[in-house]
Structure 1
Amino acid sequence: MGQRVDTGGPQLFARYAYAPNQLGYCGPSEGGALRDGSDDEIRAVARRFSGAWPYLQVLSRMTGIADPLDHRLVESYWLGGGVGDRLDPAEFYAELLAVIGPQAGHYWTHLTPELADEAAGNHCFHVFGVYPWSRLLGKGMDEHPLRILDSCRITPAEVLAREGDRIEVLGRQLTWDGRSLNLSEPSSREVEVYSDGYSEVPDVAVGEHIALHWDRICGRLEPAQVQAVDESTSRQLSRTNRRLAVALG
């Protein structure tokens, strides 16, 4: 059973990218370096993420931070806040669209200039604005897109109890009332510490705050990071709900 040695931005990227990659949702199929690779190996894999990598490229250009996997950029992308919050949303979206537009194809016709009103240089915007799932809500089959949206976003949670390799955590879940997306009141659920014999935080303890991605632990969160995730999620839901209100009439 392994534990990652954190050496900076590439390792932080791998922490959050590992779960969806291992589940086959994004990134290259041979993404094993995200689990135990060197920084150079992770960099090679990161460049093949058609979602996250363009954000990091644009964040790098617009902030003047040369390395797209600089810790500051990676943290801002996954959690919100930080250096990405200082960028003009419309300018960021225009730069992003120039990168991902040509490779998106006709399946992504919703990536129009109007989406600039919803834009942010973080993963939360990618989940709710760029991915198509929010556009499937209100069409009679809401459970599946809601589950995908809730799983794909970064969820902060507090560890309430641990028994063996299972923990009980307190966090908020995504809800849909037929008109808008919201976050529930905090509730508890169980999460496995290990998946396939591996854990990002094998010694996770009661009282700590952690980040969850696809119900897997990405790492510990400091109070400022919890606040960044909460604020970026709240802001994104507000903007996404404005679009949904127009779409649903």
Structure 2
Amino acid sequence: MKKRKEILDRYVITTDCEDLKELEKLIELLKKYNVIAYNYKVEYLNGKVSIRVVKGNIILNLSNLSLSELEEFLKDREEFYIPKFRVEFHNVKPTRDIIDKLEKLNLPYSEVHIFKDYVKIKTISGLSFIDNKDLEATYDLSQVMDKISLKPLNLGRIKKVKDMYALVLLKLYGIRDLNLIDKILNLNYNIINDSKIVIKDMDLEINEKGIFIKGKEISKKDLYKILEERLIRQ
């Protein structure tokens, strides 16, 4: 069926449905729960609904749902307000628990996207990362935000470690592997001038220019091998 736009009640619906009764069911469902659609736009394609629903000042980003699945999300009429963030829940029901966790974060204004198994966050300064839904690593990261340079940086996946600032530095310097980061953070290291990581007993330094042992630059692969050999000797 060819897609077209229909203006029904207060909604602009992009649809391929030729059955007006089916569209009426959709409209009645939206009206039943007094749904405010973001920009009043709704998609109903191949019998599935996609809609962004405003709940307080958060958004439910619901996609590819049947009418019955959509109603399961709409039944909960509670609205949530969290002014410090722009929050979207993607096919996930908002809960007071995760809202409370977000409110405890010491982050600047950020976009927060909550999915079934993970959370993506991007701060107004361009720092972006992915965390588990418990947000434990994000909480620890938020406690060292005053040390982090306000420039765009994609940390990728983060995890809770004993030194979140060291994790940020290692990610900044190109060490992305969380297993390798764990190995480094288990060593006796120091952070010098908030900018370089030094492990004296290995004569190892990691900084913005690269990874160096005894002043000689090595690759991440070489570093991984050296750390593996060190663990075996221990």
Query: Same fold by TM (over 0.5)?
Result: no
Please tell me whether Structure 1 or Structure 2 has the larger radius of gyration of its CA atoms: 2
TM class by shorter-chain length?
A: under 0.3
TM-score if structure 1 supplies the norm length? 0.20
Structure number with higher helix proportion: 1
User: Higher relative contact order at CA 8 Å, sep ≥6: structure 1 or structure 2?
Assistant: 1
Structure number with higher strand proportion: 2
